[in-house]
Structure 1
């Protein structure tokens, strides 16, 4: 940590002066060692399991992917080298060529606002923003060196209504020291950004000494002159048919941080089309700009309309551009309902033999029921893919609707286990769940010329 601080001091002398304001909050006494040990043991048992809270934003399709190796284009690397302190931030978005291009074209807005609360220093490092998307870069430092488990509990912009968000890691393990993360905000169409973003972030910290909830507030200035009016619009209005399923591509809007393509599915289609496996934009040089795979990948307008998001080529200004794809994950509409017999612990309806019900259990933490499924899938296209199998809403035999707010997944290779949590209550069996994504496909070459 000392090495990191020395590097920051060398790189950011002018910004460090802005970070000196801090507020120390004493850590209250609290949970005992027994509870702390139980928390650690529980986390060890679930170390290999990936959990996610189902988003309350029904308009968003969220895909969160771990960031691995770091490689930049020469242009981005050179640009980063000229601005002190930016390199660690740009490493967070190396997976998105459009954001690299945005940074290369001076789209990063440094912020450098810091506060210390409950032994944790939070710094809002910078933002990238346009009319379609806001990405906030932040750093957390464990300045008191105390072992703790930190949970991200929520974030919002208090001065903007109807704003959805997505973020990366939701929990930091007990031996964490420094974490750099991003938060993405998506304003509704037509929302005009204010001159200042009022950011509120909530964290829960569990240590041997105490359990505390901490809220940070930051006022982040926004240089709107960087992006206002920077967009290009194309009316595609082209329809294709893949294995009898009709798809119409409507308006495409190109922003500096991403591209949005409106997609309409014919209500008369016999299959529910979930996601394109390989939809991408290709220019005259053969360079591809693929779907956004870390952050918001699309927005649902209604049952048969979506806006799908791509990495942006706004700063490339291609002479020719094509929209291409070859496979789409899809399922017969009649097979989307899964019925779970709670007494017999079996599936009475399912899409195929790949999906089975392994068990029905109970969460030791809060008593929720857990439906444990297994999905067998050896398709090479799904080698590194984790499916969000079910929608959050489900119903029982009486027709009453309920909501699940957490799912889990574990395993690798061809066998993956999925956990679907249902709140405690009395249900009339069977339960009906609804497939949200599934590894069955339709195939056909899509090749549309945009310009």
Structure 2
């Protein structure tokens, strides 16, 4: 273990000198995406359970936190060349071509702050930041091999008491040595980015016998001069019709970390449009930049307006750019209600025969009710996709509204189990749930020239 610590301490100075190293090393402009698509598909094919917490967030910053064990491939090793400290950082953002380009173009801000408590050393390795997004890279080290981190329970900015946190954390195996991950911060429109991010981290379990719950605190410097004014704006302002459903694409803003496109849906549309299957930006060379699929994919402005987020091509500077798609997941608005008779444990209404009610149970931990659904779907377009079936709001027969704050999904390519947690209440049956995403579609080519 001491050898491991020595190695990591040697790597931190290399991260600090990353700028000079990158100028001397030829980094390819693109890593083989097909290989990593296969890896992601393989992981999804294994049976697993994914938990999500649902809530309406209105605070100034939204934090999305993800943690991952470090894994390397020959392709990643070749990509980062002779910079050992950069290897895990590139691995963590390998799902996002735009962030890879940001590192390639010297956009990383090295930090190298560390703090050790209760045998756990946490290091803030660096950040990538602009006016739209801040990505914080961190490392956890199990210094004596005795500790077990189960969950990153708390992340907050102490200077902003209204910070909302969207948790997507996963337990880690026993006897771990090193964990590295990222934290995404999304300032609201018009919110200023501070000179320092004063952040607090806490884990819900460090050792089996731990009696205290230590917190790690950092003041992370932000070099705002590095990204000041780095954005480009385009007015698309074009309306398309797909199977009679009208969609208007408004302004597009290009930042180094992501692209934002405003989308409006005609209120008179007969269908609720959930998500675009293959919406992408494509340049004159055929290179594509897809919507973000690991992190915050979009934000709702109103019932019929939203902002979609794409991987950024800011550092590519394409001569021509097109917005393209061919299918959209959608459903007739009248079919979105799913009514559950909780007394007879049966569905009174549902979109189609793919969705069934498997069981209604009770959580052993807090007494919450659990609605267990099953969905069978063999459409190739939906392979390796887990659907967030329902909105968080549901109603009972009296018309009273409630909020579900947790759901879980598990399954394989063709069959999924979805658990929807409901509060312990004296409901008037039936309950009404509202479809948020479903494998029904409309098709039609969208091909808009942006520049």
- The verdict on a shared fold, with TM-score over 0.5 as the criterion, is yes
**SS of 1:316 mapped into structure 2:** coil
Q: Which residue of 1 aligns with 2:185?
A: 185
Q: 1:65 to 1:318 in 2, by over 3 A?
A: farther
RMSD: 2.6
Q: 1:212 to 1:364 in 2, by over 3 A?
A: farther
Q: 1:414 to 1:74 in 2, by over 3 A?
A: closer
**Structure 2 spans left out of the alignment, 5+ residues:** 17-46
Q: Which residue of 2 aligns with 1:237?
A: 237
Q: 1:271 to 1:349 in 2, by over 3 A?
A: same
Q: 1:331 to 1:380 in 2, by over 3 A?
A: same
**SS of 2:297 mapped into structure 1:** strand
Alignment of 1:290 onto 2:290: yes
Alignment of 1:77 onto 2:89: no
Q: Which residue of 2 aligns with 1:344?
A: 344
| 8 Å CA contact 1:145, 1:177 repeated in 2 | yes
| 8 Å CA contact 1:164, 1:185 repeated in 2 | no
Q: How does 1:8-27 map to 2 (within 5 A)?
A: 8-13=8-13
**What whole-Å deviation, never above 9, does each CA across 1:13-68 have from its counterpart, x for those lacking one?**
5889xxxxxxxxxxxxxxxxxxxxxxxxxxxxxx9422222244279898989897
Q: Which residue of 1 aligns with 2:32?
A: none
Q: Which residue of 1 aligns with 2:43?
A: none
Q: Which residue of 1 aligns with 2:225?
A: 225
| 8 Å CA contact 1:164, 1:187 repeated in 2 | no
| 8 Å CA contact 1:291, 1:310 repeated in 2 | yes
**SS of 1:7 mapped into structure 2:** helix
Residue 141 of structure 1, CA deviation: 1.5
Q: Which residue of 2 aligns with 1:415?
A: 415
Alignment of 1:202 onto 2:202: yes
Q: How does 1:360-399 map to 2 (within 5 A)?
A: 360-399=360-399
Alignment of 1:329 onto 2:332: no
**SS of 1:436 mapped into structure 2:** coil
Give me the TM-score of the superposition, normalised by structure 2. 0.87
| 8 Å CA contact 1:169, 1:181 repeated in 2 | no
Give me the TM-score of the superposition, normalised by structure 1. 0.87
Q: How does 1:26-425 map to 2 (within 5 A)?
A: 48-57=48-57, 77=80, 81=82, 85-160=85-160, 166=166, 169-205=169-205, 207-210=207-210, 212-425=212-425
**SS of 2:8 mapped into structure 1:** helix
Structure-1 separation of matches of 2:162 and 2:446 = 34
| 8 Å CA contact 1:63, 1:294 repeated in 2 | no
**What whole-Å deviation, never above 9, does each CA across 1:396-420 have from its counterpart, x for those lacking one?**
1111111111111111121100001
Structure-1 separation of matches of 2:324 and 2:74 = 26
Q: 1:71 to 1:258 in 2, by over 3 A?
A: farther
**What whole-Å deviation, never above 9, does each CA across 1:332-355 have from its counterpart, x for those lacking one?**
111111111011001101111110
| 8 Å CA contact 1:61, 1:299 repeated in 2 | no
**Structure 1 spans left out of the alignment, 5+ residues:** 17-46
